Amino acid sequence: MDPVEGQEGPVTYRVEVEEPNGQRIDRYLADKLPLSRSQIAALIDAGHVRVAEQTPKKSYVPSEGDVIVVALPPPEPMRAVAEEIPIEVVFEDDGFLVVNKPAGMVVHPAPGHSRGTLVNALLHHVGRLSAVGGASRPGIVHRLDKDTSGLIIVAKNELIHRRLAGSLARREIVRRYLAACWGHLRDDTVRVEADLGRHQRDRKRMAVVPGARPAITEIERLERWKAADLLRVRLLTGRTHQIRVHLRHIGHPVVGDRQYGPGWERGLEGRWPGDLAKRVKRQFLHAAELAFPHPVSGQPLEFSAPLPGDLAEAAEWARRTS
C-alpha cells in the first residue's frame, strides 16, 4: 500500500477494504501497511486513523467498502549523535545505502545503547538520514538483531524511505540469510507458516502465537554437517526474531542462539555438537543477500556479503569434521 506522498511533510495512507477478514482494525492495517500493530494502535489513540470521518476504536472490525485513512504526523526531529565509527558500505547513492553490519553492533539507539550504533556511524558518514523512523531510528528500513551480521538498507531521505518501505510491504525486497541449525531437517526444503507474537511470560522474547501476526519463512538446506545443517533462509515477512523463532518451532534452533536454543547441543549425541558450540560465540545467522528494484529507476539490484570470519571458520571446521 503506497502512501499519498510528497518529498517532505506528513504522509497519508488510504486503504479501501475489499476483502474483510474479521480482524480488528489495528491488526488489519498492520498487515496492509509498513507499520507495526503497536504503531497503528498509537495512531488510533492519537486520532490519526479515520473511517467515514470518525475515529474508530482499536477493536473495530473493518467492513467491505470501508475507506480507512491513516495520517502519519510529521517525523520527529532526529536526536541521534554522529560518531566516527568504521562501517562497510556496500552500495551508496543519493537516496540510500546498503551496509554490511558487523555482529555485536546495535542498529539504532535505544535505552542502554545511545552510542556506538549503526545509526550513529551513518550520521557521521552521510550527515543526514530519513526522519521517517523517528528520532531514535532515522533511516532504518528494516532491522537486524545486534548479534546478526550482514546486509541492511538505510534511507537518506523521506521519499526514498517511504518507497523502500512500500517495496518491503509488497514483498519486493528479497532477503536471504545463511544460518546453521542444530540437528537435521527432515526435507531439503521447508516452508514455515506460523503466526508470531510476544511471549506471554517473557515480553522480550517472541513466540509462535496462533492468531498473532502472520509470518512465513522458506528454508533450504545447503550442507549437511555431522549434527547440524547449513541453511539458506528467505524471509517472506519480517517479524521480530522470525528466523530464530521459526527454526526453534520446528525443532532446529539456530546454532549459538542463547535466547531460543541455549544448551541445545547438550541433547545431541557425541562431542561434535559441543565442539561446534565452542566455536560459535554468537548466533550463526548472517544476512547474506538482498535483491530489490531501485526505488527511483526500478532497475533490479542485487547485493551479497560472504560469511564473516567467525562464522566462516566455524563452517569450515564443521565441513572438515563431518
Q: Which residues are catalytic?
A: 145
Q: Which residues of 127-163 are buried (b: 16+ CB within 10 A; e: fewer)?
A: eebbbbbeebbbbbbbbbbbbbbbbbbbbbbbbbbbb
- Judge whether 69 and 56 are in contact, CB under 8 Å: no
* Residue 4 CB burial class (10 angstroms; 0-12, 13-18, ≥19): exposed
Q: Which long-range contacts (CB under 8 A, 24 or more apart) does 46-50 make?
A: 46/73, 48/72, 48/73, 49/25
DSSP label at residue 159: H
- For the record, the C-alpha cell of 94 comes out as 543519493
DSSP H/E element including 220? strand 216-224
DSSP H/E element including 164? helix 158-169
CA-atom Rg of the chain in angstroms: 21
* Residue 170 CB burial class (10 angstroms; 0-12, 13-18, ≥19): exposed
284: nearest Cα among 231, 236, 222: 231
- For the record, the C-alpha cell of 42 comes out as 498509537
- Judge whether 259 and 243 are in contact, CB under 8 Å: no
- For the record, the C-alpha cell of 154 comes out as 538505510
